[in-house]
Amino acid sequence: MLNPQEPFEFVASLFEDDPVYVNMKDADEIKIHKLGTTPLNEEDMGKHVTLVVIFTPGGGEFIFSGTSKGWINIFRTEDLKMVHSFKIANSNIKTLMILMNGRKLAVNSSDRIIRQINLPDLANENEEWEFEVEHKYQDVVNKLQWNTVSFNHNAEFLVASTFGQSLQDLYVWETSLGSLIKILEGSPEELIDVKWNYYRCMIGSTGLDSGTVYLWLIKFPQKWSALAPDFVEIEENIEYEEKEDEFDIIDEDLLIKKRLEEEDLSVDITTPETVDARGFDVTLTLIAIMSGTTTPRKRNLEDDLPSFDDPADLVNAVISTLQQPEDRTNVANNYANDKNHATEIQAYAKIAGQDWTFYVKSLAVSIGRNTDNPVLLIIQTLL
């Protein structure tokens, strides 16, 4: 695997030999360093074989290697010194996959279990590192082996390819709960490597026998409504009831004549509408108001109202029904309206209440008290 920071540096695991770190910056002098295989502080002195080795993403500050006895060794890239070792399984470690942000590690071992591990802050070497197994992924029914594993760009999902010719599928798990959400089928051969395409929402895997690359992607449905605004999309078919004259053949001359007749119709502009501007029925409102009150008694208004031959008598009758103040005033006693019924006075106009009378004898009249700022009421009356 290449160093993500230095393209001329890479690590490799060799068959039945120690892993190596290769520096090719100087083409004349290629430097090869062997990395240790025996873990730190191991009680079992059996021989270990390194099966997989990778750089940490980002700057490639550390190197992770997996052994045949389930141990993971961590080397510092700067001086190639082993700084930590921990055991994760009792079988061969086949694949190591570290998330791009360096927070999660996926370990594929030959015991048919994929382990998801939360990684500590590797930049702080002074603190003790703790590697906690968050989830374990396996097929408890078929007991499948796994070829390789891969995270998506934000570690929300984990995908793995199956080993053997019995099944040629990809399994997808959700990493937050550790549950299987999808099995991607369709490949006619065993799949080995698997990768995510983060930008196109696509998963690619390589066939073992033919080398064919198989792609799985999300199929977005076509939205015809985006092309035609008046197009309505439905989930399932609906029965359409055609109108009686929808598909009838109508003579064009008759159609034009019918339209002209509709234009000549008289428009009623005097009859009140039964609905208002909001579409509510105003007749229902009137009925509701009437139903909340007592039913009015029918009467003949002409029989109840008195008749007057002289219009002045009608005016005096109306004045007598007007309201008056509770405390009676002097002007009401001396100049009451009923005392001037038979009096003829020369005036422009007459202003009267039930208990007072005022004759307008001039064109300018001041009403109110005489103060510094009197309020003048000018009454102009044309006789």
**Assigned domain for 123 exists:** yes
Burial profile 233-265: b = 16 or more Cβ within 10 angstroms, e = fewer: eeeeeeeeeeeeeeeeeeeeeeeeeeeeeeeee
pLDDT of residue 281: 73
**146 in the same domain as 108:** no
**Assigned domain for 277 exists:** no
334 vs 133, more confident: 133
Return the minimum-mean-pLDDT range out of 175-179, 191-195, 260-264, 319-323. Answer: 319-323
**Assigned domain for 298 exists:** no
| Per-residue tokens: 53 | 């080795």
27 vs 132, more confident: 132
pLDDT of residue 325: 73
| Residue after which a domain boundary falls, among 135, 151, 172 | 135
Residue located via tokens 């549950």? 179
**184 in the same domain as 215:** yes
CA distances from 181 to 157, 159, 173, 332 (A): 9, 10, 6, 98
**177 in the same domain as 127:** no
Q: Which amino acid is at 346?
A: Q
Count of C-beta atoms within a 10 Å radius of residue 52: 21
pLDDT surpassing 50 at residue 251: yes
**Assigned domain for 231 exists:** no
**Assigned domain for 169 exists:** yes
pLDDT band at residue 331 using 50, 70 and 90 as cut-offs:
low
pLDDT band at residue 337 using 50, 70 and 90 as cut-offs:
low
pLDDT of residue 344: 67
- Chain-wide mean pLDDT for the chain? 80
pLDDT of residue 122: 86
Percent residues over pLDDT 70 in the chain: 83
| Residue after which a domain boundary falls, among 120, 135, 150 | 135
| Residue after which a domain boundary falls, among 111, 135, 159 | 135
**90 in the same domain as 154:** no
pLDDT band at residue 9 using 50, 70 and 90 as cut-offs:
very high
**147 in the same domain as 128:** no
pLDDT band at residue 141 using 50, 70 and 90 as cut-offs:
confident
pLDDT surpassing 80 at residue 29: yes
**126 in the same domain as 33:** yes
pLDDT of residue 367: 66
Short-list 98, 16, 87, CA closest to 57: 98
CATH number at residue 73: 2.130.10.10
pLDDT of residue 377: 41
**199 in the same domain as 121:** no
**84 in the same domain as 32:** yes
pLDDT of residue 379: 41
Count of C-beta atoms within a 10 Å radius of residue 111: 15
**Assigned domain for 264 exists:** no
Cα–Cα distance, 139 to 168 (Å, whole number)? 14
State mean pLDDT over 281-291.
57
Number of domains in the chain: 3
pLDDT band at residue 380 using 50, 70 and 90 as cut-offs:
very low
**124 in the same domain as 40:** yes
pLDDT of residue 303: 53
Structural domain that includes position 354:
310-377
**65 in the same domain as 35:** yes
**180 in the same domain as 86:** no
**206 in the same domain as 92:** no
Q: How far apart are the first and last CA of the chain?
A: 116
**Assigned domain for 89 exists:** yes
**Assigned domain for 98 exists:** yes
